[in-house]
Structure 1
Amino acid sequence: EAIPGAYDQSQLVSFYYQSNAPFDSFRETWFTGMKDLERIEIHKEAVATLEKLAKRADAVYENMQETGGMLEQSPLLKEAHTHYLKSLKLFSQEAGKFITADKKINGKTLKRELDTDPGILEAKRFALIAQNEYYNSILKWNLNMTPELKDNELTKKEDLTTVEWNQLNLNQKNVFLTNMMLLQPLFANFAPQDLAVKVDTLLDSSQEGKIKFKHISEAVKILVATGAISNGDYLAMETTRYDNEIIPLVPSLVQP
């Protein structure tokens, strides 16, 4: 039986401010830190960069730990909040191991080791699980708002043809992409909707005969390999492309 108020807009907005936005700010800091490590030659400077990242993870964790109480009505959102906390805890713990390790390595080598470290990979996996739960919660809201919209099985497939992709609305596309990002895994400094809008734009090019692909996985591969997706791409295009979509009034999905 549905819990009154579960997955309503206020719950989604609360989650955005309590969990999603704080974690995204950490994620952005992490990627900036990784980029900095690439050019650092001195071991002490590399360790100092990692210390800042660990402290940032701790600070965001502490702030997020104090929130989340308003999410009791929406179990998926509560789980997502917990998974973001687990992710932050692991990022901090694993970074700590590298900080105290007696290795005199430069930033580039340190980054390479961080990228393959099992604990860091697990931290990223928890973040991708949380992301998946959040966007599934948005889809639940959409299904509650639009009863005629059926829970489309296409969102659960490992890959889609371009024809299948075009049958989905934005909320469904985002769920499909969060599934794909979790399976690959693809922990990246952009949101699913940034990827969705780029896939749709690439599809336009495909229809014009510029680029040919039949499956969405091919489009994602091209976009990621060429570094064509940036955080905020969706908001830059949202007002024109998704005018007729039913989207919750969450800051990351709707222009202020």
Structure 2
Amino acid sequence: MEKRLTATAMFFSVGFVFMLVCAVGAFFYGIQIGTEKTEAKYAVDEDDANGAAASVSPYQQQDLVSFYHTVFLPYREFQNEWFDAMNKLSQGKTNEATSMFKDLSNLAESKAKEASSIDVQRSPLLAEAQVSYIRSLKLFNEAAGKAATSAKTLAFNELKQHVENEKTYLSATQFSLTAQQSYYAAMVNWAASVDMDVPSEYKAPAILELSQWQKLPITIKNKLMADQLTSRLELTSYYPHDLTSRVDDFVKSGQASKMKLHTLSAVVDLLINTEAVRSGDFTQSKARLYQQVLLPQLPFFYPDTN
């Protein structure tokens, strides 16, 4: 005879199965809730981390200093040698121009490799400056090679003019000045990150009055001098901040007023055309003109600390 479950047994069986299903469902629901909370926590932590990273300027002091030693200084060492060679030509002190330019070509090549040794991609302006300095050195390498060939047929007084009018040299100069602009623009961004009164960007009016110039922070003044040199294609042995100090000294001494000069460009033209700017002018007048200014700790601002 077939056994049948009683109503009570059937009730308990169904109840047990129902409770088991609920328990399993609750278990998996708990896992889902826990997972969602964990993911949400990590999402918040990631957002906080991204926010903190975004609040940190890509132009920290250490970035500017690292760039100075690994990119700017190798370029500057080559540039000084180039200027020395040009001075020798203008004074007629070299009879070995061919070998001199071959040495400069080799030096430009080696310095370009040095300037490539660091990755500055986190700082866009420094990355732009690096690319331009390296490109400038490679073009100087070509210009020096062409000059070495020309030295075999041209007199020294003709050679200097020929070199400085040659297309490759002019391109090398342009890239150098463009790199300089980017480096000084990065300094402006650094200043803006540590002083809210300094704007990260400044667009000068077409005609900048000296009264406006005097109110500007030193880092913006320096960037404007880099711009002025670039617009004139002036490759100089002095720095943009040397030109800044000469302009400030010229204005504060009353000379600009006596000569009825009212715009920045007019003063810069006068100083450049009369060769009134020298390397080291900034440091010589720093104690007098810039006792409490905001500048990054770079060797060309603080030579006594080297």
* Structure 2 residue aligned with 1:173: 221
Alignment match, 2:110 = 59
**Structure 2: which amino acid aligns with 1:58?**
E
AA paired with 1:237?
A: S
Structure 2 matches for 1:2-81, cutoff 5 A?
A: 2=54, 4=56, 6-40=58-92, 45-65=96-116, 67-69=117-119, 71-81=120-130
Deviations 1:76-109 (A, max 9, x none): 1011011100000000112212323485111111
Q: What's the RMSD between the two structures over aligned residues? A: 2.1
Separation in 1 of the partners of 2:71 and 2:151?
Answer: 35
C-alpha contact 1:40 1:106 (8 A) present in aligned 2: no
Indicate if the aligned counterparts of 2:143 and 2:168 stay in contact, CA closer than 8 A. Answer: yes
Instruction: Give the aligned residue type for 1:92.
Output: N
Greater than 4 Å deviation, 4+ residue runs: 207-210
Compare CA radii of gyration and give the structure with the larger one.
2
Residues 100 and 191 of structure 1: CA distance in aligned 2, closer, same or farther (over 3 Å): same
Equivalent residue for 1:186? 234
Query: Structure 1: how far apart are the matches of 2:151 and 2:106?
Result: 20
1:208 Cα deviation from its structure 2 partner: 8.2
User: How many Å separate the matches in 2 of 1:95 and 1:41?
Assistant: 18
Q: Distance in 2 between matches of 1:48 and 1:132?
A: 33
Seen in structure 2, the aligned counterparts of structure 1 residues 140 and 45 have a Cα distance that, compared at 3 Å, is same
Cα 1:148–1:220 shift into 2, 3 Å: closer
Alignment partner of 1:142 is 2:191:
yes
Task: Assess, with a 3 A threshold, how the Cα gap between structure 1 residues 105 and 207 changes in structure 2: closer, same or farther.
Answer: closer
TM-score (norm 1): 0.90
Residues 77-116 of structure 1: pairs in structure 2 closer than 5 A:
77-101=126-150, 104-116=153-165
Residue 235, structure 1, aligned to residue 235, structure 2 = no
Letter in 2 for 1:32: D
Aligned to 2:208: 160
CA distance in structure 1 between the partners assigned to 2:87 and 2:222 by the alignment:
27
8 Å contact kept, 1:77–1:137: yes
Q: Which residue does the alignment assign to 2:271? A: 223
Q: Give the conservation status (yes or no) of the 8 Å contact 2:102–2:145.
A: yes
Q: Distance in 1 between matches of 2:150 and 2:294?
A: 50
Distance 1:102 1:128, change over 3 A: closer
The equivalent of 2:15 in structure 1 is none
Using the size of structure 2 for normalisation, the TM-score is 0.76
How far residue 41 of structure 1 moved from its aligned partner, in angstroms, is 7.8
Secondary structure of the equivalent of 2:237? coil
Secondary structure of the corresponding residue to residue 203 of structure 1: helix
Instruction: Give the structure, 1 or 2, with the largest relative contact order (CA under 8 Å, sep 6 or more).
Output: 1
Q: Distance in 2 between matches of 1:40 and 1:58?
A: 26
SS in 2 for 1:100: helix
- The CA distance in 2 between the partners of 1:46 and 1:159, in whole Å, is 43
Which of 280, 288, 293 is residue 245 of structure 1 equivalent to? Answer: 293
By how many angstroms is 1:3 displaced? 7.2
Q: Taking structure 1 as reference, are residues 174 and 208 closer, same or farther at Cα in structure 2, changes over 3 Å only? A: closer
**Cα distance, 1:149–1:102 mapped onto 2, change above 3 Å:** closer
In the alignment, structure 1 segments of 5+ residues that lack a partner are: none
Gaps of 5+ in 2: 1-50
Using the aligned pairs only, state the percent identity: 28
DSSP 3-state at the match of 1:156: coil
- CA shift at 1:239, angstroms? 2.7
Q: Deviation of residue 13 (structure 1)?
A: 0.5
How many angstroms does 1:121 deviate by? Answer: 0.5
Equivalents in 2 of 1:130, 1:102: separation in Å? 29
Aligned length: 252
- Tell me by how many angstroms 1:156 deviates: 3.3
Deviation (angstroms), 1:48: 2.2
